[in-house]
Chain A
């Protein structure tokens, strides 16, 4: 079980969090023309990197804030956690 430092609440057990997927994805802006390919990239295509990965987590049983985690996908080492605006 991971130990995750919520940037708002501090160290908490993984039990309190929900995984939110790749944290590097940016949603295309509203009301803009976008090709099928670009849209499909956004909706479906995700990298599955080995090693460092920035991902989203949601402190679902806590402050309910979404935040970002930089984690090694092979060792589970967490390098940093940070607020989405950082």
Chain B
């Protein structure tokens, strides 16, 4: 079969460029400029899928975003994607498509048995059937539903394509390049406004491509080409095709989806497949047009039933006949345009018009062309299973609720036109409450909530002359207020055929005794009877009816079904449509690929990676990384066949025995300057800061206003009004914001400046009994004796020509120093320390050893300062000043914080001295107690004590002060362990803190 339904001439396709593609494994030929849908139709393919619930055969219905049925699994460039709308995807060489929702094939689908059982599949079927027995849900029902409801298959392969994001700002965004869009964009552009004109199709012009009209004596198509080429020449205009504006968000943030790659046979290497645009527009002009409304009749979902405008578009744009024996079923003049187009192409249609015999320009033209017209007629039911073969039609009685006579006529297609529904999705998303327009039986935008205007058909204006007039004027007015320019534009003359009034007929009645399925929503398989069932069962709100029946859900968003659904509810409820109201329109208007939403933020680019200046040295020395926020930190340095446990033990032991060096660049550093800096610190920290001398560091704890510990660290007085604060790696950003808040909002009278210097300084901690010897060699000119540089002392030094800051502070509990140099010299410093440290057996140590060292010393860190502990809980009450006020102090007086049995940090050792206690274990008195077993506390940090060579943990324990010496169980249901432990002091090593002062 080769394009039997392709017209010999006409259409906007390139007949010189045939394109080969596959559908369900078979090869076909189409032309460049085809969509997958038009190419299949040219080959006479109508059966393209099975319906969602009943697995009924389905064919094409629309020609663009209006298409509810033609969702396909499509493979282009080795990339397979489900749910692609065949009416929107352009044909390219090598494209391979297949039907979804059918098994084993679209021609023979086992699920179609559902269709014959359809009285067992009423509205709410899933809710009603799969309720019991409960145990069946996971084993039987859910797998069944998943298989039955399959809408294509998502690829499990990594997406190799490239997707991009783009930000743009403009004065006017115009959505849609039909007459309204072109006119308004042109007028605004002439006024010098920065305009973006977005068209979702590959071709500009919208209905101008298919309507028989002239503008200034040019055909609609020629006029649109002229305007577009002028707009493209203007530097203040961006014109984009294949670009769907799908979301309208706050403050005129518009989101657009551009298909940049799929239509290219050979995509250049750096061209993305798709691009997401974030557009902030001062004004938005919605020229989204309208979508033709179906008329509902029996078996109206049979392949071969089309929207009448779609049939016309297939002829005029693609040179394709959707049938050779069509019935046009219409309630308005639009159907006649399709009939006339058929006639011009040598096909004899029959028009069934639900209105009484009448005249209009179009009807008369059709009559003159000898087109057979039957007035007061309607299609009752289509016959044919996989394709329309004939139809039973009938003459409507006066009330149009029954038929005077019926007859069966042969046909191969039925084109329906039930008048037009403005595409108000974006307007509704903007917050615009819609209003019902009686004269067109549809909702149109009402008062704008954001800076938006709807134009043309999207606003219910269906004549070209009015559309152009309003659009030129609005484009001009809106842009004038932005650019202050007012270029006068002559509104062009138009020639179009005037319509006579449409008929409100929307659904064919059922003849007595007949029970044909009449579909309202094709995509979700919702028939008239389903909605009636929902209403009978008491669903009243249209939002409930929608969810119970699935009417207007999924990718279709009710584009063709919405109003007929509302009309039906209104009829049954004896209301009018505006009383029923409409469901909420939500973005996206059309489906958007996940790849586009994600953009380049995948893999390594998911978030920034922060590396210290010594990163490459760590890498070369077999560092195994751990993420600390965005930072990469060495967890341990691998030697030979060591595992984490062995390596961290070795590293920690080496610190206790000799000396180790740790990269502490990631600690937060904040530079604090100003005459009130001391006063400020005194308010921020719980302890006293006014008397800290220059050249001294002090450990401090800061609280939130609710009394909970926020962070801890040391701050050093560099000079009279200059301090260097350190924070934990995790809290660095929060602490800076916290300080800025108090300085800018609470105490603006304090003259203090704070700035982050985390990335300006590289830091190395050298720790261990040999660290002083090492320091002396690094800074031969400085007296590093305990007297000259005591614990918590600070000096500045010269590290082989590099200015360095030396702090005698310790996290490991050993004699230790921290050296800071400017980041550029970080690696230099590190290599010097490693070189010179060699004679003292220096080894680098990672965060795992660091944790071991601090845990066995009983130093608290993140796991203890977990946002639930007050200073008392973590044995920091000695740092809480009784004399002065500070942030959060008042909260410490709360009753709950002062209970005698308040939780407290303790140490734990397993009785067997062997079993490691999982972090997060619960502490209980009796491991066999009945549930819920009263929890006394939890294990916060665990390590293998290198000092005592057995496991040791820190825990937060209720009444911990009085629990020392008691035996408890540490129970971890996750690890399935229950370990008997002894409670002891949290300071397991060097109780008195002698080493740091040695």
In the bound assembly, the distance between CA atoms of A14 and B69 in angstroms comes to 39
Residue of B167, B705, B745 most packed against chain A (CB within 10 A): B745
Knowing A3-B280, A13-B280, A85-B748 touch, does A20 contact B251 (C-beta < 8 A)?
no
Q: Are A43 and B706 in contact (CB under 8 A)?
A: yes
Q: Which residue of A lies closest to B733 (CB)?
A: A60
Find B740's partner among A3, A64, A78 (CB 8 Å cutoff). Answer: A64
Q: Which residue of A lies closest to B169 (CB)?
A: A11
Q: Which residue of A lies closest to B737 (CB)?
A: A58
Find B890's partner among A34, A56, A78, A84 (CB 8 Å cutoff). Answer: A34
Q: Are A58 and B740 in contact (CB under 8 A)?
A: yes
Q: Are A3 and B737 in contact (CB under 8 A)?
A: no
Q: Which residue of A lies closest to B894 (CB)?
A: A36
Instruction: Decide if B602 is an interface residue (CB 8 Å cutoff).
Output: no
Find B253's partner among A1, A28, A64, A85 (CB 8 Å cutoff). Answer: A1
Instruction: Decide if A80 is an interface residue (CB 8 Å cutoff).
Output: no
Q: Are A58 and B741 in contact (CB under 8 A)?
A: yes
Our count of residue pairs bridging A and B at CB distance below 8 angstroms stands at 55
In the bound assembly, the distance between CA atoms of A67 and B278 in angstroms comes to 26
In the bound assembly, the distance between CA atoms of A1 and B248 in angstroms comes to 10
A36-86 interface with B by 8 A CB criterion: 36, 39, 42-44, 56, 58, 60, 64-66, 75-76, 78, 84-85
Q: Are A56 and B737 in contact (CB under 8 A)?
A: no
CB-CB under 8 A from B250, the residues of chain A are 1-3, 76
Find A56's partner among B167, B705, B745 (CB 8 Å cutoff). Answer: B745
Q: Are B744 and A84 in contact (CB under 8 A)?
A: yes
In the bound assembly, the distance between CA atoms of A2 and B278 in angstroms comes to 12
For residue B725, give the distance in angstroms from its CB to the closest CB of chain A. 16
Q: Which residue of B lies closest to A34 (CB)?
A: B890
For residue B853, give the distance in angstroms from its CB to the closest CB of chain A. 34
Knowing A39-B891, A56-B745 touch, does A3 contact B885 (C-beta < 8 A)?
no
In the bound assembly, the distance between CA atoms of A18 and B736 in angstroms comes to 13
Q: Are B705 and A1 in contact (CB under 8 A)?
A: no
CB-CB under 8 A from B683, the residues of chain A are 30
Range class of the B interface residue count: 20 to 34
Q: Are B741 and A66 in contact (CB under 8 A)?
A: yes
Residue of B683, B741, B744, B746 most packed against chain A (CB within 10 A): B744
Find B431's partner among A13, A60, A75 (CB 8 Å cutoff). Answer: A75
CB-CB under 8 A from B278, the residues of chain A are 1
For residue A9, give the distance in angstroms from its CB to the closest CB of chain B. 15
For residue B680, give the distance in angstroms from its CB to the closest CB of chain A. 12
CB-CB under 8 A from A64, the residues of chain B are 736, 740
Q: Are A43 and B705 in contact (CB under 8 A)?
A: yes
Instruction: Decide if B449 is an interface residue (CB 8 Å cutoff).
Output: yes
Q: Are A1 and B748 in contact (CB under 8 A)?
A: no
For residue B144, give the distance in angstroms from its CB to the closest CB of chain A. 41
CB-CB under 8 A from A30, the residues of chain B are 683, 885
Residue of B167, B249, B890 most packed against chain A (CB within 10 A): B890
In the bound assembly, the distance between CA atoms of A2 and B251 in angstroms comes to 6
B447-469 interface with A by 8 A CB criterion: 449
In the bound assembly, the distance between CA atoms of A3 and B737 in angstroms comes to 21
CB-CB under 8 A from A44, the residues of chain B are 706
In the bound assembly, the distance between CA atoms of A13 and B449 in angstroms comes to 20
In the bound assembly, the distance between CA atoms of A30 and B449 in angstroms comes to 45
Q: Are B737 and A27 in contact (CB under 8 A)?
A: no
Knowing A34-B890, A43-B891, A75-B431 touch, does A66 contact B740 (C-beta < 8 A)?
yes
Q: Are A66 and B890 in contact (CB under 8 A)?
A: no
Q: Are B748 and A84 in contact (CB under 8 A)?
A: yes
In the bound assembly, the distance between CA atoms of A27 and B741 in angstroms comes to 12
Q: Are B744 and A66 in contact (CB under 8 A)?
A: yes
For residue B546, give the distance in angstroms from its CB to the closest CB of chain A. 24
For residue B172, give the distance in angstroms from its CB to the closest CB of chain A. 16
Q: Are B891 and A84 in contact (CB under 8 A)?
A: no
Q: Are A18 and B706 in contact (CB under 8 A)?
A: no
Q: Which residue of B lies closest to A64 (CB)?
A: B740
B784-835 interface with A by 8 A CB criterion: none
In the bound assembly, the distance between CA atoms of A65 and B167 in angstroms comes to 24
CB-CB under 8 A from B737, the residues of chain A are 18, 58, 60
B278-292 interface with A by 8 A CB criterion: 278, 280
Additional pairs, 11, CB under 8 Å, beyond known A30-B885, A42-B705: A2-B251, A13-B167, A20-B741, A28-B890, A30-B683, A31-B884, A34-B890, A43-B891, A64-B740, A76-B251, A84-B748
Q: Interface on B for A, CB 8 Å cutoff?
A: 167, 249-253, 278, 280, 431, 449, 683, 705-706, 736-737, 740-741, 744-746, 748, 884-885, 890-891, 894
The 10 closest A-B CB pairs, nearest first, are A3-B251, A30-B885, A66-B744, A31-B885, A76-B250, A1-B253, A27-B746, A39-B890, A43-B705, A66-B745
What are 5 A-B contacts with C-beta separation under 8 Å? A1-B249, A30-B885, A31-B885, A65-B740, A78-B251
